[in-house]
A and B are shown apart, each in its own frame.
Chain A
């Protein structure tokens, strides 16, 4: 089955620790995106990548980092510099940046205490 997987579904970390969220897709999509969702809010773009070995900052990139070494993988690292890291994180992909539809993964709920 083709799709996007994110692991783990729930993640707990202590303040001051970096944590990496996984996002894998087997849809052969070029473009991948990371969004953050806070309770009762819409999604905001953290980082996006249009092709392997290239990525760009989104609207709220501070305190986050990404890599795109493989087409199917786009991991997001939440660093200790992110002041309010507790949130729901969604990864998405699309065929390319012009395509109509973005497919979303199931999300990872990160709690930092």
Chain B
């Protein structure tokens, strides 16, 4: 069964420093997608970054980068130069088999989340 594990319930980081949020996943699929979402206190889910299982390079989006280690089944999010506005809950998610099949729902499987607090 597919599963996402985020082992850090809460993290603190000093403003302007970098922080790594851990995510490990379990799947038997060969083709899958990994996502990171940010959820501020308002509740909306904000898409940050995506990594496909066949992508050879680690994904980057501005201050966000995804450290993808396929053999270890890890997809850690790195936020560089933290800002106060980065304080939020962060979710790692996986989408099941990307191959076109009747069983592919497109649903996302989420981890428990990590609460990040940026200190001034």
Contact = CB atoms under 8 A, between A and B. Distances in A.
A-B interaction: yes
A80 B50 CA distance: 38
A109 B100 CA distance: 34
Contact of B107 (A45, A103, A107): A45
A50 interface: yes
A64 interface: no
Contact of B42 (A43, A98, A106): A106
Interface string B1-37: 0001000010000000000000000000000010001
B33 to A, nearest CB: 6
A94 B45 CA distance: 14
A40 B39 CA distance: 11
B112 interface: yes
A28 interface: no
A53 interface: no
B112 A42 contact: yes
A45 B108 CA distance: 8
A43 B44 CA distance: 12
Nearest to A106: B44
Given A98-B100, A101-B47, A106-B44, A41 B112 contact: yes
A50 to B, nearest CB: 7
A70 to B, nearest CB: 20
A56 B108 contact: no
B112 A50 contact: no
Interface string A5-44: 0000000000000000000000000010101000011111
Nearest to A45: B107
B104 to A, nearest CB: 6
Interface in B61-120: 91, 93, 95, 98, 100, 104-108, 110-113
